[in-house]
A and B are shown apart, each in its own frame.
Chain A
Amino acid sequence: MNDRVLVVGHGPAAHRLVHRLRALGHTGPLTVLGRPGTHHGLATAVLTGALPPDAADLPAHPAGTAEVHHVRAVRIDRARHAVHADDGTVHRYDTLVLATGARPRRPGPHLGGDVRALRAPARSAVGDGPVAVLGSGPYAVEAALALRRTGRDTVLVHPGERLLDGLLDPDAADLLAVRLAAAGVDLRPGRTAVEHLPGTLVLDDGEALPADTLLFDTGLRPTTDLARAAGLAVHRAVTVDALLRTSDPAVHALGDCADAPGDGWEQAEALARLLTGATPRLRPGPVTRLPAADTLAIGTPGDGDQQLTLRDPARGRYAALGLRGERIVSASIVGLPRAVAAVTQLHDRDLPVPADRLALLLGTPAALPGAAEPGPDTVVCHCATVTRRTLATAWHAGACDPAALTAATRAGSGCGGCAGELRALCQAFAREDPAAPGTGAVPAARTRPRTEQPV
């Protein structure tokens, strides 16, 4: 709790880590090298014009939280537990956290004009003209939907046959494509972009699509130079273990520069817990969620020893769950927002699936075994605890309209929510017993006996 923690990089994962370290009671010095970046999750909102660019900026930390230096780290001296910055300063640490991020991988050299990476800070909105999006992953799909919903002509181009290939099962991916098409997004599966000229995108089959702006998400290149130069194990990204430790136990890495499951936000939470002595909660990955498309992908499609599938193509709904025992190990869900939410939570917290699986997928209350049908002892008015039986008795005693029933039984005198039911009951009683006094001219009873107890 009193260690000197030094964080290199200041994107959302680093920013969250600082916030959570202090919230969880870290009392030692906390230093960050780097200017605060932007919220990754808001890039699309800036591109569509929903947010001004500065609304996506990460805020300054409250006074006293951390020492922030707007410098770039240039060298790690692991032997001396120190990091050298480009302004010549040296920053010592007990624990070092690398959060150096990643840079977007550009799709090709021939793409000119207004071309922007989706997974990079957005500095302005795109124009109102047509937009082409390159990519088949969650960022590309969500951006295409968001742009289309703001009225822009949008085309989504991807080289593979399906969206979220390998994440969603084929049926789910096909349904996702149907959803996108229904929302008005033009789809070009199996195609690559060859050339972007002002206003036009040329595909590999020669088709020319109108596109003032080209947005792409064709992968990330983790920024690992510092780690590599310091002799830390690096493959595609900085290698870390389940506790986000690099090959040097004094050095951790998180966010886009690290080869770790989950997103930077979750990793920041786990690392903050670890560094403050709490139990880290690292979720099993990978989980891909497309909230704008009511879509969820967990694990490898088909994984599990028991498969559960709901197919409702006419209403655009599909869910496939793979279970191992009672645990969810894979999921492909499209068009079932409640199932997306519930299945994610069950998976995140490693909870068993409910016995009523249909209720889980449809988001309805679980059926109760042996739940009673409405009968004479069903309470109609909960504010006064009045049963159907009591109401029937009062009706037969002459309380033949809702007002008279209320006067006789107090039903309907509280929240007023059963007014409709009282009306319906009066009609039902009359149908059941057309000769009864309630249908005739007998005046209604105005009071009920004080001694009467609710049934």
Chain B
Amino acid sequence: MTVSAAEPQVATHCPYCALQCGTRLTGARGAVQVRPDADFPVNRGGLCQKGWTAPALLDVRDRLRTPLVRGADGDLHPTDWDTALDTVAAGLRRIRADHGPDAVGVFGGGGLTNEKAYQLGKFARLALGTSQIDYNGRFCMSSAAAAGIAAFGLDRGLPFPVTDLGRAETVLLAGANPAETMPPLMRHLERARLIVVDPRRTRTAERAAVHLQPAPGTDLALALGLLHLAVVEGRTDTGYLRTRTTGFTEAWQRAAAWTPDRVERLTGVPVAEQREAVRLLADADRAYVLTGRGAEQQSKGSDTVAAFINLALALGLPGREGSGYGCLTGQGNGQGGREHGQKADQLPGYRSITDPAARAHVAGVWGVAPEELPGPGRSAYELLDALGRDVKALLVFGSNPAVSAPRAGHVTDRLAALDLLVVADFVPSETARMADVVLPVTQWAEEEGTLTNLEGRVLRRRRLLAPPAGVRGDLDVLHGLAVRLGRRADHFPTVPETVFEELRRASRGGAADYSGIDYARLDAGEALHWPCPEPGHPGTPRLFLDRFAHPDGRARLAAVDHRDAAELPDGQRPLYATTGRVLAHYQSGAQTRRIPELAAAAPEPFVEVHPDTAARAGLGDGDLADVSSARGTVRARVRLTGSVRTDTVFLPFHFPGDGRANLITNPALDPRSRMPEFKVSAVRIAPAEPA
């Protein structure tokens, strides 16, 4: 294509997943062209259909272009910004006066830039004085974060550059389906023999050398069994275990009971395949263990990840160049979003909100006394569950919990019970449609900022277009509200780079130390992975090469044991349901369902069912089915799938209304990470009842 000199163009990144594929944008509004950046190492010129069609997101038909306020007639009506912000501020003041600061909640998102995430956390703690802030990243990789911090003393999704995977001989993917969820990642996995752990035969599993297909909710036992085999077959790295880890004996004492036979009986994974997986991992000079949402989104997700980390540690993989453990973070800024303070228990720089030193440091940067900072608040589902009870108002930024939260019918009821629901978004999402005030905000190609991708590299998002008239940036929204709530204007700057400068100071000395990173270095093309503690510091592409982040420098194996899912199939609900993604959609689908090409590729909810299971239920391919759990019923079209287990059905969760897969999901929470059990529900399936 030819580009005229006058035509604007920028180098930026795709608006969707944590790969943050490099892209080049050109053209004016209505004619924006995207092409993949051949020089960006993560995608190397690759892009999936979501990325190719992302320009269409800028001008979707129902793009929000003006603030909306719900009137006495119950409908949302256009209004001006001052009226909208005054309405929100007045409501927040009233609720705070009547019920105290914790009656106001904030719900953030893993797609927000670092600057927005940081400012949202600061806004909640200072301007609102509330402890009640959490975000949808809790539903994403929180279990891996909990397990990673426990094992290594630090959580960075991939503690090595993505490109290191390209030289791997063997990669184990536990509950990850990158061929559909982040396709360009597969370019780095072409050489490796893949071991894929997934109850479904996904496109990733189709490429596997070994596909281990456990029943949903049993992968923790499988991981224990793989460790057991590695030990019994003498394949552990005993020197590494002795010098670089602690806790092996206790971990083994749990795994000792998980003989291959017992693991096969529980999981359905043949002993021969368990053995082959261990052989492929142990024989490789360069091997990786990677986890995804399948392992993590369970009421025992952090233990499941810990068990896979134990396996990696027993084989001596983490902290060695060319080998390791990593978590495939999901959302665009799932990494940065979990580091800068929009999480209930956290302050910027990946600091703990209960650590007095961390509180003092951040309070100092913010110019307040440490006592002014609230303590830890509720986790995402617990916060949503409290709406209309203790929490009377909720501000939502970059999230659509009416579709994406577990037990979505209940969450929708809780949202409806609020005195005040404020949603900042650029499309009228299902949650925005329920709001009392809707604030139209900018999107990717209309704003500046930074995101941190799955390998901990800080990336610049750049603006190609001016936002449409009537649309403001999230930082402007927070500024406008903070000022109305009596905060100093200069404490809530609206220029992203100014916010980033403050974020650098706030993160200094923290686990995720950004203090050596600035826009100038990023714009000069430097590849900077945190921690980057000094202005001239080259960043840290590979963590843990010399020592792990615990005080003694050693990694910790965890003494974890298997336990059942919170709910198992029974006579009434004889099937497992598990949920996940399709290639054409992202998260709740609020963005991608609005893009014609993507909607055409995946137009409606479906349920993958084994032909026998369908026949028994009186269902054929293409029939509408009701899939019911103890929490609700989702309606979806039957897709007969010969490779799915007869006891398992699969539903994608991108669809609204009665096609919301989360109507059936279980909000049983992991005790450590507070992750809900998205991946295991007991259900029955039947022909759809006439409406």
From B185, B254, B268, name the one whose CB has the most chain A CB atoms within 10 angstroms.
Answer: B268
- Bound-state CA distance A294–B572 (Å) is 34
Do the beta carbons of B270 and A410 come within 8 Å of each other? no
Q: Count residues on chain B whose CB falls below 8 Å from chain A CBs.
A: 63
With a cutoff of 8 Å between Cβ atoms, the chain B residues found around residue A416 in the complex are: 46, 184, 186-187, 190
B349 CB → nearest A CB, Å? 34
Say which one of A116-124, A182-190, A210-218, A351-359 lies at the interface with B.
A351-359
Contact code string A27-66 (vs B, CB < 8 Å = 1, else 0): 0000000000001011001000011000110110000000
Which residues B229-254 have CB closer than 8 A to chain A?
A: 231-234, 250, 252-254
Shortest Cβ gap from A36 to chain B (Å) = 10
The answer to whether A417 touches B179, judged by C-beta atoms less than 8 angstroms apart, is yes
- In angstroms, Cα B597 to Cα A352, docked, is 41
Interface membership of A265, Cβ < 8 A:
yes
Q: Is the CB of A410 within 8 A of B52?
A: yes
Give residues 52-109 of A contacting B (CB, 8 Å): 55-56, 58-59
B256 at the interface (CB under 8 A from A): yes
Report yes or no: A385 in contact with B601, Cβ–Cβ below 8 A: yes
**Interface size classification for chain A:** 35 or more
Please tell me if B272 contacts chain A, counting CB pairs below 8 Å: yes
Cβ–Cβ contact B640 & A368, under 8 A: yes
In the bound complex, residues from chain B placing their C-beta under 8 Å from that of A41 are 257, 259, 261-262
Partner among B48, B233, B273 whose Cβ is within 8 Å of the Cβ of A50:
B233
Residues of A within 8 A of B563 (CB): 23
A340 interfacial contact with B, CB 8 Å: yes
The stretch that binds A, out of B287-295, B414-422, B539-547, B607-615, is: B607-615
With a cutoff of 8 Å between Cβ atoms, the chain B residues found around residue A340 in the complex are 264, 270-271
* CB pair B49 A359 closer than 8 Å: no
A359 to chain B, nearest CB (A): 7
Contact residues in B for A50 (Cβ distance below 8 Å): 232-234
- Of chain B, the residue at the smallest CB distance from A142 is B261
Give, as a whole number of angstroms, the nearest-CB distance from A14 to chain B: 13
**B268 A354 Cβ-Cβ under 8 A:** no
Question: Please, how many angstroms separate the alpha-carbon atoms of A195 and B611 in the complex?
Answer: 59
- A348-B265, A385-B601 given as contacts; is B186 within 8 A of A341 (CB)? no
Interface string of B587-609 (1 = CB under 8 A from A): 00000000011001100000000
CB contact between A414 and one of B183, B215, B611, B612 (< 8 Å): that residue: B183
Chain B residues closer than 8 Å to A51, beta-carbon distance: 231-232
Given known pairs A289-B261, A365-B642, the reply for A415 and B49 (CB within 8 Å) is no
B446 at the interface (CB under 8 A from A): no
A369 CB within 8 Å of chain B: yes
Scoring A12, A50, A410 by chain B CB atoms within 10 A of each residue's CB, the highest score goes to A410
Query: Any chain B CB within 8 A of the CB of A367?
Result: yes
The distance in angstroms between the C-alpha atoms of A113 and B183, with both chains bound, is 63
Q: How far is the CB of A331 from chain B (nearest CB, A)?
A: 14
Contact B610 A366 (CB under 8 A): yes
Task: Report how far A292 CA is from B229 CA in the complex, Å.
Answer: 12
A414 touches B46 (CB 8 A): yes
| B231 close to A417 (CB less than 8 A) | no
Flag whether A384 is at the interface (Cβ < 8 A).
yes
Q: Does B36 contact A (CB under 8 A)?
A: yes
Interface string of B183-217 (1 = CB under 8 A from A): 11111001000000000010100010000000100
**Is A447 in contact with B1, judged by CB distance below 8 angstroms?**
yes
Interface presence of B646 (CB below 8 A) = yes
Cβ contact within 8 Å between B272 and A337:
yes
List of A residues within 8 angstroms of B596 by Cβ: 453
Whether A382 is near chain B, meaning CB under 8 Å from some CB there, is yes
Nearest to A381 among chain B residues (CB) is B49
Taken together as a complex, chains A and B put the C-alpha atoms of A202 and B36 apart, in Å, by 76
- A145 nearest CB across to chain B (Å): 12
Q: How far is the CA of A132 from the CA of B466 in the complex (A)?
A: 83
Q: How far is the CB of A15 from chain B (nearest CB, A)?
A: 9
CB pair B583 A366 closer than 8 Å: no
Contacts of A292 in B (CB 8 A): 271
Q: Is A355 a contact partner of B612 (Cβ separation < 8 A)?
A: yes
B257 near A366 (CB under 8 angstroms)? no
Q: A200: which B residues are within 8 A, CB to CB?
A: none
Q: Report chain A residues within 8 Å CB of B207.
A: 417
Report Cα–Cα, A19/B583, bound state, in Å.
42
Question: Is B643 an interface residue, CB under 8 A from the partner?
Answer: yes
The 8 Å CB contact of A16, one of B257, B264, B647, is B257
Question: Which chain B residues in 413-434 approach chain A with CB under 8 Å?
Answer: none
Q: Which residues of A contact B (CB under 8 A)?
A: 12, 16, 19, 23, 39, 41-42, 45, 50-51, 55-56, 58-59, 265, 289, 291-292, 294, 337-338, 340-342, 344-345, 348-349, 351-352, 354-356, 359, 363, 365-369, 371, 382-385, 410, 413-417, 446-447, 453-454
Q: Known pairs A414-B183, A414-B186. 13 more at Cβ < 8 A?
A: A41-B257, A56-B256, A265-B257, A291-B271, A356-B612, A368-B641, A384-B52, A410-B52, A413-B48, A414-B47, A415-B178, A415-B183, A415-B185
Residues of chain B touching chain A, judged by Cβ–Cβ distance below 8 Å, are 1, 36, 45-49, 52, 178-180, 183-187, 190, 201, 203, 207, 215, 231-234, 250, 252-254, 256-257, 259-262, 264-265, 268-273, 561, 563, 583-584, 596-597, 600-601, 610-612, 615-616, 621, 640-643, 646-647
Sort A-B residue pairs by CB-CB distance and give the 3 closest, nearest first: A415-B186, A414-B183, A59-B253
